[in-house]
């Protein structure tokens, strides 16, 4: 958790701050660099401090639940919220959504329940209009997933669904970050090259070259790949250790058996 926070999140925060400091000179590549860096920063920041809390809890005999389950491998907004900040999601589910009636009600009432939950989710993060807008943003996408494009989502290839979900998540974080809604519009225009600043410039290319390898490492670190690789190495080490133990036993027992014979 400390490594996530200090080595990854803080460094990614500097990349994101540098990108968004461009203001009116934001190029397409710089906008995407800032969006990707900030998206990764939030994950390593939030999951890092919860990992530290879980570890410290175990020091004192408390077993706290996992809070982040690789949210950026999600293929829909609803799956993302089953993986991101799970204790918060489960709290709103158990103490707000279900008491309001959940989804066991009419469609109109279900939409109202979702609206209330996501407005409260936005306000929980802070008493600011950008947080409220961020909560309503996810309310809209969850409604679209469930009631408007449900069949299309099921037929969409997983790779495409994953990319679309990542874009939804990343742009949502832009709303989360910007306390001035006018700047959210500038970032959105910058992502699609509608600011008139072109695709890239010298400063952007330099920033990309300087941070490319670091970003690749950070992207891999927020996937299950590293964990699976570690588990595979542990299994191999354990099997090799068992084989070595058996071999040592044979080497020790062999001469003894010969002597007894």
Q: Which two tokens stand for residue 68?
A: 């982040």
**Nearest to residue 92, comparing CAs of 113, 108, 77?**
113
Cα separation of 199 and 192, whole Å?
A: 9
* Tokens 């006018």 sit on residue: 182
Query: Are the CB atoms for 182 and 188 separated by under 8 Å?
Result: no
Tell me how far apart the alpha carbons of residues 107 and 88 are, in angstroms, rounded to a whole number: 25
CA–CA separation, 78 and 153 (whole Å): 12
CA-based diameter of the chain, in Å? 91
User: What is the rounded distance in angstroms from the CA atom of residue 221 to the CA atom of residue 227?
Assistant: 9
Phi, then psi, of 192 in degrees rounded to 5: -110, 15
CA 129 – CA 150 distance, rounded (Å): 30
Residue tagged active-site, from 25, 63, 110, 125: 125
Distance of alpha carbon 42 from alpha carbon 98, whole angstroms: 28
Helix axes 10-20, 28-59, angle to 10 degrees: 150
Closest by CA to 193, choosing from 39, 47, 11, 31, is 31
Say if residues 143 and 115 touch (Cβ distance below 8 Å): no
Tokens of 197: 């600043």
- Is position 63 annotated as part of the catalytic site? no
Active site residues: 125
């Amino acid at each position: 958790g400390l490594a996530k926070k200090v080595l990854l999140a803080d460094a990614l925060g500097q990349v994101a701050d540098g990108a968004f400091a461009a203001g009116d000179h934001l190029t397409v590549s710089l906008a995407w660099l800032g969006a990707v860096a900030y998206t990764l920063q939030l994950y390593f920041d939030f999951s890092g401090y919860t990992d530290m809390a879980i570890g410290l809890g175990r020091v004192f005999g408390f077993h706290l639940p996992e809070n982040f389950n690789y949210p950026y491998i999600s293929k829909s907004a609803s799956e993302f919220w089953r993986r991101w900040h799970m204790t918060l999601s489960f709290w709103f589910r158990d103490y707000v959504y279900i008491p309001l009636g959940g989804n066991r009600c009419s469609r109109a009432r279900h939409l109202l329940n979702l609206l209330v939950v996501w407005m409260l989710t936005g306000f929980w993060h802070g008493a600011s209009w950008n947080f409220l807008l961020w909560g309503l943003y996810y309310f809209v996408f969850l409604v679209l997933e469930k009631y408007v494009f449900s069949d299309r989502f099921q037929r969409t290839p997983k790779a495409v669904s994953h990319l679309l979900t990542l874009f939804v998540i990343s742009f949502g974080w832009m709303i989360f970050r910007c306390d001035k809604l006018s700047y959210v519009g500038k970032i959105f225009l910058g992502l699609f090259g509608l600011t008139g600043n072109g695709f890239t410039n010298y400063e952007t290319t330099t920033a990309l070259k300087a941070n490319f390898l670091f970003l690749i490492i950070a992207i891999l670190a927020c996937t299950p790949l590293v964990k699976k690789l570690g588990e595979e190495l542990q299994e191999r080490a354990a099997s090799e250790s068992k084989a070595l133990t058996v071999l040592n036993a044979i080497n020790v027992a062999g001469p003894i058996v010969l002597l007894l014979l």
